[in-house]
Structure 1
Amino acid sequence: MNGYNQVEQTLNDILRAINPSKEDWTIRFHIINEVRDVIRSIESLRGGTVEPYGSFVSNLFTKWGDLDISIELPNGSYISSPGKKHKQTLLADVIKALRKKGGFRRLQFISNARVPIVKFEGNFNISCDLSVNNLSGQMKSKILFWISGIDNRFRDLVLLVKEWAKTHHINDSKSGTLNSYCLSLLVLFHFQTLEPAILPPLIEIYPGNMTDDLTGVRAVAEKNIEDTCAVNIKKIRSDRSRSINWSSLSELFLSFLAKFSDICSRASTQGINPYMGHVEDINTNMRWLPRTYALFVEDPFEQPANTARTVSSNQLIKIAEAIQVTHQMLASPNQNQASLFSVLVGPHLSWLGRRTSVSTSTIQSMSTTPISRNIPIIRNGIKTRPERKQPPLQTLHKSQNKVMDKPQNGESNGSKHASTSQKQQVWRPRSEPKAEKNSSGE
């Protein structure tokens, strides 16, 4: 087996193991319903709704992924904007109610964070973050969910990169490394800057600052954003002039590592802009000045917020070293599966590395969500993509890297992508997956 095939098989084995099962979805729905029961008992939050956001909504979470929950305050049909102090007061009431209810572990109130949160641990050691009025977080998550429908390889690589980052202890904003949202944006930027591109600059999906548009009547504001994204994504997917990128998962992972291997040296002068799909010189971008961050990855939905604002200079060196070590290992001609597993997954998946030949059927039994191999195929002379089984919530609703330089003459990095005929789906949170209703009794 040659090096690329070895890496490809290893990545697919890992992806099967980390994909969430129906039980993983059900556990998270159960936690959400438990929180709803608690919120109903709090007088200051009567009429509020409990709504998930983050990787659970974007479907970019692994079996062990955290759960983000927002309490949306009642304000008629309008979007409310409570101040930080009011949020702190409400969350103080929440943590008291959680303690009184019981069954929630490791309760912690982080009141002075940019977004105040209550952290706790739910069933099966699922870590949860509870915030107040995080509608922008919900919409960001939904847009990432819609974007992943353009090409399944985006979700696959995000899951693999998250697992790899946790293995190297560089996926923790509290310790000065990368948060999961930033990692997802780095993968998205990678897909934008391949040749040919797999995903477009996000200005082509939502040409505006999304968080600024979340005002007025909530239903109207959300629908305007959903409709804009739906129209543009449909246009992107139906454009048959877009060149198709045929890269395999292993090629995409290796090129991702290669692209960011010099992240330390470049971060001092350049920032990453997924909205436009290219890097920019920090000194020429007035929105990013003065330069006060070790790394700048702009939030395309909340410009000019920096999703890497917690990354420290020392930890940036650690991030770069992890990237370089992993790239060297994966590109080595002397690799073996055990060494690949050791650099790609953590102790909870160490059993994978102890086996010279991993049984696909054994790993598949761990997850009901199959790996999505979205490599284009040709059928009757027409380039198409394989059909994809929808995970529970979705029923609701050899290329080289481009050099990471600024586009010339105002052109944006990112070529057109092949089309599919699927319609845009709107994500709608539900209290339980349809397939689980009868068995769970919820």
Structure 2
Amino acid sequence: MATSRLEELLNKIEEPPLPEITDNYEIDLRNFRIYLGHLKEYKESIIKFGQISKFHAEKTRVYNSKLETAEALIKAVLKDIERLEENHHPRNYKKFGGSQNKFKRVSAQQILENPGILNGVEEGIIEDEHNSIFVLRLSEEAFPVSECPVCDEAGFSSKSELIDHLKEHLTYTNFSHSSKPFQNENLEISKKYKINQLRGAPPRSAWMALASEIQNLYQNERQDEGLLTFKYEISNYLEDIFKTIYPNSSLRMYGSNLNGFTTTNSDLDLSLSIDLKEAFKSPREKTFDLISANFEGPVKTNDLCELIILSKICDSLEEIKATDIELRASARVRIINFLTPTEPKLEVDLCLNNDLAVENSKMLKAYSLIDTRVPCLGIVIKCWAKARKIADPKNGTLSSYAYIILLIFFLQRVSHPILPYLQLYVTEEKKIGEYDCSFDNDIAKYQASAQANQMNEGELLFEFFKFFSLFDWRNNVVDIRKRENVSKSGTQNEPFISIQDPFETTRNLGDVCKPLGVKRIKNEFKRAAAEIIKGKRLQKLLEYEQIRQINN
């Protein structure tokens, strides 16, 4: 049978008419189910025609086109039936033409003879000289993103319609409320300490006793290797879970578990390294550019991608029975906080692409390895700050990380410095975005110089408290990158505590402090130094008096 004759006969098998759309879900659902039956009969007719004409029909373009269209329509209508069953408007069928009363069916020859024939029509079904059917969008002003960049939904005709659909992918909102009660500890200062109370020093024997207590506390509070190994196993397990969603992603540890200042109750900080375009279907680059052109640029689109990825991660964590899942979407760096489905349970903070934090942790680790007194003092100072309730940014005081920066700053400036300025002695530049993350990782050359300082942990802890009791917070900045003093710039309205992040140099770690928090932190430095002068034991430094809570 000649090909032209086959195509002529094939074209007599007419595609069933599309159903009208009403405002009644029940009527639309009934019509779509009837339409689905007609489509299946239509597909069966095409297949039977191919069988009757043996293999000849299968070689024609019209046969293959008709069969592919029928299969695609059936798939789309099945999706829309699911949508109607959930009381949502049908959407996918529009990809193949939508309701008939919205379109004109014309031939290519008619368009050539009368170019204005489709004026006012957003879409038309065009037949070329081979009678092949395809959909053409005729209005240049029509919304160009007709398919969801994340799933198989299609047929969007406006930006608002697509945005409404994309919100269905942002399931993170289900996890944006903490199940943990927030404790507002806006506390009074029980007793004010003054500079004149810092005169003098305890006898040498007191230094030795304090140093011994510091070492004991360090041994008790530092994280053992077994727990760290367990955390790495958890990290590997979570990475495998996330790779099932995003195969090109990887999970990296950062924070105290990596920087050498970790305690037994430290959280597990993880960063998922992923190209944000992974949120979209292939071709990702093209899809990203298309969405960016319609969503106020790549910055907004990156934000959308991040929320889509975080949403999928939250969903996957729920599937593996993680508990207390909370996404802090308004944080400086978006974080998913959750408890692992393991025994013992671990509290995890998970973020995306926090490469700066990973590099920062590596640099702090380098500092901690220069001298054994560094991690010992760091962990004790963290314990002290938490015990005295001045290590909680949510309540207007500094983070534990900020106290480690203070310790490094002090050890760089103590008589016979123990720590160098690793960012001054750089042999190879490393940048992450606009930030310079270079530092000298060759710690062996600094260890002998550190040993020249013979002060024990007790003396150093006292000098640390005294140093920051006398520090000129109003005029100076804590900056571990530079040997010279750094003066504040700006007005007196600047926060009284200025601690510059070593990599994100525009970030002040003291910004989180409230006025009362600043006063309490300064007072605690003086209190600790004064208690050591009195010969008090380490336990006294860590005691916390029940301070009356201020009613807001």
Q: TM-score range by the shorter chain?
A: 0.5 to 0.7
Q: Which string of whole-angstrom CA distances, capped at 9 and with x for unpartnered residues, describes residues 148-181 of structure 1?
A: 2222211111111111111111111222111122
Which position in structure 2 is the counterpart of 1:438? none
d(CA) in 2 for partners of 1:162 and 1:41? 38
Counterpart residue number, 1:299: 501
Question: What aligned pairs does 1:141-156 form with structure 2 within 5 A after superposition?
Answer: 141-156=361-376
Residue 426 of structure 1 corresponds to which residue in structure 2?
none
Which residue in 1 is equivalent to 2:542? 344
Aligned counterpart in structure 2 of residue 117 of structure 1, from 335, 338, 345? 335
Mapping of residues 294-373 of structure 1, within 5 Å? 294-333=496-535, 335=536, 337=537, 340-344=538-542
* Residue in structure 2 matching 1:14, options 217, 230, 233: 217
Q: Does the 8 Å contact 1:258/1:327 carry over to 2?
A: yes
Determine if the alignment matches structure 1 residue 130 to structure 2 residue 350.
Answer: yes
- Structure 1 distance, partners of 2:240, 2:451, is 50
Report matched runs for 1:56-75 at 5 Å: 56-74=257-275
Q: How does 1:15-54 map to 2 (within 5 A)?
A: 15-42=218-245, 45-54=246-255
The 2-side partners of 1:243 and 1:32 are apart by: 36
Match of 1:188 among 403, 408, 412: 408
Secondary structure (helix, strand or coil) at the match of 1:204 reads coil
Q: CA deviation at 1:236?
A: 3.8
For residue 357 of structure 1, what is the aligned residue in structure 2?
none
1:223-278 CA-partner distances (Å, limit 9, x unpaired): x94xx6235x455457x7x8811110001111000011245xx3232211111145
Distance 1:84 1:251, change over 3 A: farther
1:282 aligns with 2:488: yes
Amino acid paired to 1:156 = C
Between the aligned residues of both structures, percent identity stands at 21
Q: Is the 8 A contact 2:215 2:376 kept in 1?
A: no
1:273 equivalent in alignment to 2:479: yes
SS at structure 2 position matched to 1:292 = coil
Structure 2 counterpart SS, 1:120 = strand
Q: Is the 8 A contact 2:214 2:376 kept in 1?
A: no
SS in 2 for 1:230: coil
DSSP 3-state at the match of 1:203 = coil
Q: Give TM-score, length-normalised by structure 1.
A: 0.65
Counterpart residue identity of residue 90, structure 1: I
Deviates more, 1:47-56 or 1:274-283: 274-283
Aligned equivalents of 2:252 and 2:499: distance in 1?
27
Higher radius of gyration, 1 or 2: 2
Aligned residue identity for 1:92: S
Distance 1:164 1:121 in 2: 26
Alpha-carbon distance, 1:192 to partner: 0.6
User: Does the CA contact (< 8 Å) of 2:411 and 2:418 recur in 1?
Assistant: yes
Q: Secondary structure at the match of 2:370?
A: coil
Aligned positions of 1:135-214 closer than 5 A: 135-206=355-426, 213-214=431-432
Cα separation, 2, equivalents of 1:294 and 1:177: 12
| Map 1:222-237 → 2, pairs under 5 A | 225=438, 229-230=440-441, 233-237=443-447
CA distance 1:342–1:99, shift in 2 (3 Å)? farther
Taking the aligned partners of 2:361 and 2:317, their CA distance within structure 1 comes to 26
Q: Which amino acid is the alignment partner of residue 199 of structure 1?
A: L
Matched, 1:108 2:310: no
**RCO greater where, 1 or 2, for CA within 8 Å and sep 6 or more?**
1
CA distances 1:190-245 after superposition (whole Å, capped 9, x unpaired): 101101111123432448996xx1259xxxx99x94xx6235x455457x7x8811
| Deviations 1:260-317 (CA, angstroms, capped at 9, x unpaired) | 1245xx323221111114542213xxxx678532311111222132122211221011
CA distance in 1, matches of 2:429, 2:506: 9
Q: Confirm whether residue 252 of structure 1 aligns to residue 460 of structure 2.
A: yes
Unaligned 5+ runs, structure 2: 1-203, 278-298, 546-552
Q: Are 2:411 and 2:417, in contact at CA under 8 Å, matched by a contact in 1?
A: yes
Distance 1:75 1:344 in 2: 44
Q: TM-score, normalised by structure 2?
A: 0.53
Mapped partners of 2:348, 2:451: distance in 1: 41
> 1:294, 1:312 within 8 Å by CA — same for their partners in 2?
no
Counting only pairs closer than 5 Å after superposition, residues 360-399 of structure 1 correspond to structure 2 as: none
In the alignment, the residues of structure 2 paired with residue 208 and residue 169 of structure 1 have an alpha-carbon distance, to the nearest angstrom, of 40
Aligned-partner Cα distance in 1 for 2:393–2:339: 18
Provide, for residues 362-419 of structure 1, a one-character-per-residue CA deviation record: whole Å limited to 9, x for no partner.
Answer: xxxxxxxxxxxxxxxxxxxxxxxxxxxxxxxxxxxxxxxxxxxxxxxxxxxxxxxxxx
Distance 2:441 2:522 in 1: 37
User: In the alignment, residue 221 of structure 2 is paired with which amino acid?
Assistant: I
- Indicate conservation of the 8 Å contact 2:370/2:447, yes or no: yes
Unaligned runs of 5+ in 1: 348-442
Superposed displacement of residue 107, structure 1: 1.4
Instruction: Work out the CA distance in 2 between the residues paired with 1:121 and 1:289.
Output: 43
Q: What does residue 88 of structure 1 align with?
A: 307
> Residues of 2 paired with 1:324 and 1:290: CA distance?
23
Alpha-carbon distance between aligned partners in 1 of 2:544 and 2:221, rounded to the nearest angstrom: 11
Tell me if structure 2 keeps the 8 A contact 1:296–1:309. yes
Question: 1:437: which partner in 2?
Answer: none
CA distance in 2, matches of 1:237, 1:326: 29
SS in 2 for 1:16: helix
Over 3 Å counting, the alpha-carbon distance change for 1:195 and 1:58 in structure 2 is same
Task: Compute the RMSD of aligned alpha carbons.
Answer: 3.2
Q: CA contact under 8 A between 1:209 and 1:303: conserved in structure 2?
A: no
Q: Please, which of 208, 233, 239 is the counterpart of residue 5 of structure 1?
A: 208
1:29 Cα offset (Å): 1.6
